[in-house]
Structure 1
Amino acid sequence: MLGFSLNVAAQTADNQFKKPLNEIISEIETRYSVKIRYPQELVKDKYVTYADWRFRPADVEKTMTNILASQDITFAKEGDKKYKLQAFQYHLKTPEEGQQQLDYLASLYTDIASWEKRKSELRACMWEALKLSHLPARPTSQPIITNKRTYDGYTVENVAIETLPGLYVTGSLYKPLNAKGLMPVILNPDGHFGDGRYRADCQYRCAMQARMGAMAFSYDLFAWGESALQVKPEDHRRSLAQTIQVVNGMRSLDWLLTLKNADPKRVAISGGSGGGSQTMLLTALDDRIILSVPVVMLSSYHSGGCPCESGMGVHLCGSGTNNVEIAAMAAPRLQLAISDGKDWTQHVPETEFPFLQRIYGFYGKTDVVKNVHLPQEGHDYGISKRLALYDFLAQNFALDLKKADESKCTIEQNPAMYVFGEKGENLPANAIRRFEDVEKLVQ
């Protein structure tokens, strides 16, 4: 009998048929008569092993997948025979892949019992992924509150809350003028829109909530706004930012619910873009929130492009989840998803929203989950989206919609909204000054 080994390692070529990636891209362009654009730094000093073996004569896209996947590079079609290359986007799938994942997830549960089991497993995993079980005790310090301003139908105060030892979240508390009795509490987490909570659209939204009869708290993203006095702005794109933002939201709510007139039975949250990611995740984790309005972020194929939205791996829980299943964890609580036609929420009416309705249907509560879709609009928290929010809040929290007149809002300049002064001169003595010290708090 012939003696030969079936050892696969013996089949490895000495030179591995290695070629520079830029040469392979040029060869693809020539062979398939296509144009491929890319930044030079994306391919610099990169080599492809078994390069020519990866070609498929009749399929340019299969060839590109075979070659580029080995380099953590993806491609997108830009037109007839035109492609763009980019670094692998871990948070992004295709709409088709998003639909496939939803179909798979839907097969995991058929009634309340199986869904509640799945939700419990997801929540436990998310809690651990975010390291929320490893936090130090909540600081006992009182919030720093400064510079109360009185406007038409509402007041504004600057607030800093110590959410972890030496770490402060800064925000603006809007209240109705001369309000009596219990009133709703509404968290307004910031998104990745320029100027953060100082933007006019954020001020409009919170002022109208207050004029309608609610307490509204708008607060900075981690390492944005005054938070950047404690760490560097680039620290916002560290994975731990996701945990800090969850802690900031929960501990802000802890404080808000201690305030006179705060109604624990009417707690809401709404944010757009990255604030929409926070809206869905906080609602999934915190049962005190009974009404949520995620704006321009409900998507089966986009998990949030910033580590502050997806950096701690919560979307890997339960062998893989997505923002739609996370949003479904709000069921059977009140929810309004606001979507548009020009970003990753473009398919919500036919893809993501039916998934939510099915979960709410387990509870016989399909009437409490809504979708407002704006097919001609884009990625913002503009007037149409704000009007939809005001209407949903008025319907469900017994607020006065007639008072949601944005012409009554006074748009403030940034310095008026600072807690710690224009140059951070009033930052507390115990305030953390380095990201490394934040890391030590969450082990």
Structure 2
Amino acid sequence: MSCSLFFYARLTYAQQTSDSAYRKPLKTVLADIEHKFGVQIRYNEKLVANRYVPYADWRYRPTLEATLDNILSPLDLKVKKDKGMYKLSEYEYYRWSVSDGWAELDRIAAQYHNVQEWEQRKAVLKPCLMEALQLSPLPTAPASRPIITPERKYDGYTVSNIAIEILPGVYINGSLYKPSRIKGKIPVILNPDGHWQQQRYRPDCQYRCAALARMGAIAFSYDLFAWGESQLQFEEADHRKSLAMTIQALGSIRILDYLLSLKYADTTRVGITGGSGAGSHTVLMSAVDDRITVSAPVVAISSYFYGGCPCESGMPIHACGNRTDNVEIAAMSAPHPQLLVSDGGDWTDKTPEHDYPYLQKIYGYYGKAADVSNVHLPKEGHDFGINKRNAVYDFMAKYLALNRAAADESKITIEKTPAMYVFGEKGEQLPATAIHGFAQLEEVWKAATNKTK
């Protein structure tokens, strides 16, 4: 054996001792697992680069699953079986196994057995949610008036774009849909937008809000923080920072403040509906804002999914009350009517089996089990398609006394995106006082919260 080969052999042997913690490159370990267990593991090279497994050989177990768990868990990695292969990904704190999610909901539910005990639980959760969001107390609202574009008139409804200053220099942007003719007091429906592409400009979002307006409601469609037109002020990456959750909640509160100040707004008939991340937001707002009287989260709520974006789970709301989950937070809407729309293609696939019966039980404490409903679409996926919209139209018509027959989407005009901008196609009308960037937002937020304290 040459000197160089002898030296390499000694070095390799030396590396595999307790002095080096039996350390091996993760990529090498994964290749060995593929060989030993006859499987394929797919991964992005960035996930394995410069990552090592201490005591690698000691972590093997007789089964593939136990071996992978032993090796990957300490590295905050996981695998998911997909079409005969295993896919490596980062550990997702917000995604649990179905059995773990159900067991956790059962643990939570064991704390109350009647309406009195449940109300005591709510009395603990609600102030904690607001504190976790850093919204207790609320910062002072700017004195500025909303910026409103001229109305655009269509068949049975009108649209205007609105920007509301929710903190000094920070705007939340949306489109306000109203019936062409307003007589007396009419309902208000918030429509936060989810994480789909094209934001509130999407056809399905326009269909929904215009249809609700044709049915006789004020429907406000608006962007989440650092999403849509908000990106004139912030980077898309800012949406994935924990403060996004707080700014979004504050935005909805400010929007509701404005809408309920309108002379034709019925403050006793207030709804909210949103899909995906906006569905999580729908549930949160219904739990913390008593002005909301009906809610319809779409393809969102599950006991084994806590929201995959920091705008849904970035603030420690789930630590409240010795831990809670999104289904219990949804239950906080009781006894106000609530619709859950679920499907077979995402984390709502088992809603009818466990989560929905839990909600029926909570509503039953008030004698209102019939006021929580679930429309499950097992052959559909994660979207806000026509069947999901129809379920929302039926629900809102029933509980807000709207004209269901007027929800005729064939009479709705899909606008081009630039028509829906508040501040112009290039942001040229953005106020000079508007802030830019997350660093400035943090300064404004700190000043606003210090002032209220």
Question: TM-score, with normalisation over the residues of structure 1?
Answer: 0.94
Report the CA distance between 1:108 and its aligned residue: 1.4
Name the structure 2 match of 1:190: 193
**Aligned residue identity for 1:419:** V
Say if 2:86 is the partner of 1:83. Answer: yes
Alignment of 1:92-241 (within 5 A): 92-133=95-136, 135-241=138-244
Shift of 1:94: 1.2
For 1:417-442, what per-residue CA distance to the aligned partner results, in whole angstroms no more than 9, with x for missing partners? 11111111111121111211111233
| Corresponding residue number in structure 1 for 2:47 | 42
The CA deviation at 1:109 is 1.2
Q: Partners in 1 of 2:433 and 2:69 — Cα distance? A: 52
Aligned to 2:164, what secondary structure does the other structure show? strand
State how 1:352-371 maps to structure 2 within 5 Å.
352-371=355-374
Aligned ranges for residues 5-24 of structure 1 at < 5 Å? 13-24=18-29
Moved runs in structure 1, 4+ residues, more than 3 A? none
Task: Give 3-state SS (helix, strand or coil) of 2:175's partner.
Answer: strand
- Structure 2 equivalent of residue 74 of structure 1: 78
User: Does the CA contact (< 8 Å) of 1:131 and 1:442 recur in 2?
Assistant: no
Q: Could you tell me how far apart the structure 2 residues matched to 1:233 and 1:76 are?
A: 28
Letter in 1 for 2:70: N
Deviations 1:92-125 (A, max 9, x none): 1111111111111111111122222222222222
Range that drifts further, 246-255 or 99-108: 99-108
Please report how far the alpha carbon of residue 131 of structure 1 lies from its aligned counterpart in structure 2 after TM superposition: 0.8
The answer to whether residue 37 in structure 2 is matched with residue 26 in structure 1 is no
Instruction: Give the fraction of aligned pairs with identical amino acids, expressed as a percent.
Output: 57
DSSP 3-state at the match of 1:132: coil
**Pairwise CA RMSD:** 1.4
Which residue in 2 is equivalent to 1:254?
A: 257
- The CA distance in 2 between the partners of 1:269 and 1:376, in whole Å, is 25
Specify the alignment match of 2:415 in structure 1.
Answer: 412
How many residues of Structure 1 are paired with residues of Structure 2 in the alignment? 430
Secondary structure of the residue aligned to 2:149 is strand
| Cα distance in structure 2, aligned partners of 1:338 and 1:30 | 44
Which ranges of structure 1 fall in alignment gaps of 5 or more residues? 1-11
Moved more, 31-40 or 355-364: 31-40
Q: Deviations over 1:338-374 (max 9, x none)?
A: 0111111110111210111111111111011001111
1:331 — aligned with what?
A: 334
Q: Deviations over 1:103-155 (max 9, x none)?
A: 11111111122222222222222211111126531111110111211111111
Could you say what secondary structure the match of 1:66 adopts?
A: helix
Matching residue within 379, 393, 405 for 1:376:
379
Q: Does 1:64 align with 2:68?
A: yes
Which of 325, 337, 349 in structure 2 is aligned with 1:346? Answer: 349
Give yes or no for contact 1:134–1:442 (8 Å, CA) kept in 2: no
Task: Structure 2: state its 5+ residue gaps.
Answer: 1-16, 447-453
SS of equivalent residue, structure 2 residue 150: strand
8 A Cα contact 1:296 1:379, kept in partner: yes
The structural deviation recorded for 1:233 is 1.9
Please give the TM-score of this superposition, normalised by the length of structure 2.
0.92
